[in-house]
Amino acid sequence: MSDERMFDTLKYANRLKAVGVPEKQAEVQAEMMAQTIDDKLATKNDLEQVKSELKMDIKGLDLKIEALRAEVKLEIKLSEERTNKNIAQMGYKTIFGVGGMIAVGVTVLGFLIKLH
């Protein structure tokens, strides 16, 4: 915190004295008020520090999001490749299955023709 106070203790004490508050009491009250304000209120420097910390946190989150995005894209690509491979394998199995059924059908048909 800077040495410069946000609260003018002299002005506050003088106003208290002007309305009849004893000098010592006005000075103590002004110091207590200044201490409370100094302890509880954020300064511009405090806000700038928080702003800077938030910017760094946001940059860190942006990097994590980008890493996750790349990971998800890779997983999607790998999943698509596996799906395409499975579809191709199923196509081959279907072709072989249908071809086999046709071969059996032709064989049976030929056998039935021979029997007649």
The pLDDT, as a whole number, for residue 1 is 43
| Residue pLDDT, tens place only, 58-107 | 999 999 999 999 999 999 999 999 999 998 888 888 888 888 899 888 89
Name the percent of the chain lying above pLDDT 90: 55
pLDDT, mean of residues 2-16: 80
Mean pLDDT of the chain: 89
Greatest alpha-carbon pair distance for the chain in Å reads 133
The pLDDT, as a whole number, for residue 29 is 94
Q: Residues near 12 by Cβ (< 8 Å), separated by ≥ 6?
A: 26, 29, 30, 33, 34
